[in-house]
Structure 1
Amino acid sequence: MSSDTQPVPLAANQPRQFYRGGAAIAALRNDVGAGGGPEDWVASTTTRFGKDEAGLSRLPDGRWLRDAVAADPVTWLGAEHAAEFGGDTALLVKLLDAGQRLPVHCHPSNAFAEQHFGCRHGKTEGWIVVGTTGPEPTVYIGFREDVPADVVARWVAEQDPAMLDALNPVAVSPGDTVFVPAGVPHAIGEGVFIVELQQPTDFSITLEWDGFLADAEAGHLGLGYDKALDCVERRAQSVDDLVLRTRAETGPSVPLLGTRADPFFRADRLHVSGTAAMEPSFGVLVVLEGAGTVGPVAVHRGSTLVVPHAAGEVVVTGDVVAVRCRPPLVSSLGS
């Protein structure tokens, strides 16, 4: 049968980044000699900002996944998704291994992206922590208190460390998940390894560029900071609203991000011992532990796969723990 109707294993896809990391990705994939960098874009139909091909995933037969999906969206994505999004998967999945603390940054909303980039998608994110190293693995998410616009502008202009200090620090361990709405400033600390789901864009407003980017011009997507800072969510954020602790949950399918994420993406952790079936859906699988099969495809720790909707009800066998990532729930859009 065509690969377009069966799960497809994928090789690593690590476009160049400005920050250090990647050892955890290499260890997960059992490729300890790899030097591919801190991000692996899994089943990506998204390019890096301003690039033509960097970031795109290839199928084993040499086609870009983007082109295969665009040529037959119903087979890959299902009729309901294709009616809403056409040949757009509406999903980007990454493995991200922070070998250093990332800068404080944020991402545009759908409305901001439409206005300034002519793009339907902004960049809401969800982080699933799958590994940590170091004594205090931490992420930073949202301002602790409301911050006036002129204060944010001054922090950015002066590259003031108060930006980081103003964020909620959250200690994390494997099994924790973080929902990151568009606009909310954030940073990922050194030693945090995540499976990241996001809307399929590469739009980042880098608020803390000094020491990370070549200069300020690289941080505002060509908009200038006067305009770019309009996308920053300056209202205080509650950690309890954004963070879930799921490590102790070991059911066959553990929802990881809650219904708030449904208009953007969905994620579950699968715990298979024996046999389990996944309902038909386009999806991306990242195998965290064990070995077995996904449909006809043998998998093991570190395997990554893309599953077309047309694969139908896919049976998973063996002893496997995996993260299953899916696109937005179409019925949740506009709700």
Structure 2
Amino acid sequence: MSKQPIALPANQPKQFYRGGAAIATLRGEPGADYGPEDWVASTTTLFGQDEAGLTRLPDGRWLRDAVAADPVAWLGPEHVAEFGADTALLVKLLDAGQRLPVHCHPSNAFAAEHLACRHGKTEAWIVIGTTGDDPTAYLGFRQDVPADAIATWVSAQDSKAMLDALNPVSVKAGDTLFVPAGVPHAIGEGVFIVELQQPTDFSVTLEWQGFLPDPESWHLGLGQDTALECVERRVQHVQDLLTHTASRVAPSVNLLRAKADPFFQADRLHVSGHQSLVPSFAVLVVLEGEGTVGDTRLHKGSTVVVPHAAGEVVLTGDLVAVRCRPPRLGS
């Protein structure tokens, strides 16, 4: 396999909601309309699909197959010892052209018991741009909610009750929100994020009416009673989940708190001249500027996968990028 970082084209599988203009603008393709999500260096498929969502490398192989064929080179021996030939990471660019529905994701334990998968779907949102007067995310219940209340909201598709029960969070570029599995949430129109998540496409879509074409698909085939068991009904304190990083400038700015370590890592790199990176499987999203990583050219909008075998690669130039990595080993 090549030991060099690999630049990747857009990979935007069809979604049920609108968006994508901000992705096209970041990538320098302002006329493009490919969809609201770009799955970067993805070894994950859309729920129930065989190939949609997977990243294809320039040599024609699926990244998933390349990793399976040589996991140590791609991921490193310590990662393989803990996770096998599994990147344990999915990175997306997500541009909400409308408010997303209220939904949540299973935990590891729920996924193992009901979905035959070791991964649930804890995620984090790194806000890289916004539009509109009051860009807002919605995260976690404002107070404890009884199970029967949630069941009633879902059965009646009471969107107002569901949204009113959540914490509204005004966001701006540089904000990061950690979203534990089970916590109900929605992303508001005009919010553009780099999203890190566990590598699954499991969503329990509590607010499906007006969003999903198939009203039975909201519960992952588990039925309402079982699906609702994954909902975190306890109050969430936003100050424990929100981090402001816009004012921080350093060679590497950590974007996540320690509670994210078992799921993923992310930092914002500010490069002026050159900067060395420790060996790691990583995904880079360039937000500003231009330069190189190894022998690979970078510019605003570049998305790059870095194999562990690339070693201590050097970033050069004048640029800002988000670096996304798998879970911190042993965390």
Shorter-chain TM band: over 0.9
Q: Could you tell me how far apart the structure 2 residues matched to 1:276 and 1:177 are?
A: 24
CA shift, 1:216, in A, is: 2.5
1:92 has 2:90 as partner: yes
SS in structure 2 at match of 1:152: helix
What TM-score does the superposition give when structure 2 sets the normalisation length?
0.99
- Tell me whether 284-293 or 30-39 shows the greater mean CA deviation: 30-39
Q: Runs (4+) of structure 1 moved beyond 4 Å?
A: none
CA shift, 1:247, in A, is: 0.2
SS in structure 1 at match of 2:247: coil
Correspondence for 2:138 among 137, 140, 147: 140
Correspondence for 1:60 among 58, 61, 67: 58
CA shift, 1:331, in A, is: 1.5
One-letter amino acid of the structure 1 residue matched with residue 148 of structure 2? D
SS in structure 1 at match of 2:233: coil
CA shift, 1:279, in A, is: 0.4
With over 3 angstroms needed to count, the CA separation of the structure-2 counterparts of 1:159 and 1:33, relative to structure 1, is same
1:180 has 2:166 as partner: no
Q: Could you tell me how far apart the structure 1 residues matched to 2:43 and 2:165 are?
A: 35
Q: Could you tell me how far apart the structure 1 residues matched to 2:256 and 2:194 are?
A: 12
What is the correspondence of 1:181-330 to structure 2 with a 5 Å cutoff? 181-330=180-329
Q: Could you tell me how far apart the structure 1 residues matched to 2:83 and 2:285 are?
A: 24
Q: Could you tell me how far apart the structure 2 residues matched to 1:92 and 1:106 are?
A: 17
Q: Could you tell me how far apart the structure 2 residues matched to 1:320 and 1:235 are?
A: 41
CA shift, 1:258, in A, is: 1.1
CA shift, 1:73, in A, is: 0.5
CA shift, 1:215, in A, is: 4.0
1:74 has 2:72 as partner: yes
1:130 has 2:107 as partner: no
One-letter amino acid of the structure 2 residue matched with residue 295 of structure 1? G
Q: Could you tell me how far apart the structure 2 residues matched to 1:219 and 1:170 are?
A: 25
One-letter amino acid of the structure 1 residue matched with residue 280 of structure 2? S
One-letter amino acid of the structure 2 residue matched with residue 42 of structure 1? V
Match of 2:47 in 1: 49
SS in structure 1 at match of 2:276: strand
Gaps of 5+ in 1: none
SS in structure 1 at match of 2:216: helix
Gaps of 5+ in 2: none
- Give the fraction of aligned pairs with identical amino acids, expressed as a percent: 75
One-letter amino acid of the structure 2 residue matched with residue 179 of structure 1? F
Q: Could you tell me how far apart the structure 2 residues matched to 1:287 and 1:225 are?
A: 41
SS in structure 2 at match of 1:108: coil
1:18 has 2:8 as partner: no
What TM-score does the superposition give when structure 1 sets the normalisation length?
0.98
SS in structure 2 at match of 1:216: coil
- Give deviations 1:214-253, integer Å, cap 9, x for gaps: 2430211001111100000000000000000000001110
CA RMSD of aligned residues (A): 0.6
One-letter amino acid of the structure 2 residue matched with residue 238 of structure 1? H
SS in structure 2 at match of 1:287: strand
Q: Could you tell me how far apart the structure 2 residues matched to 1:306 and 1:319 are?
A: 19
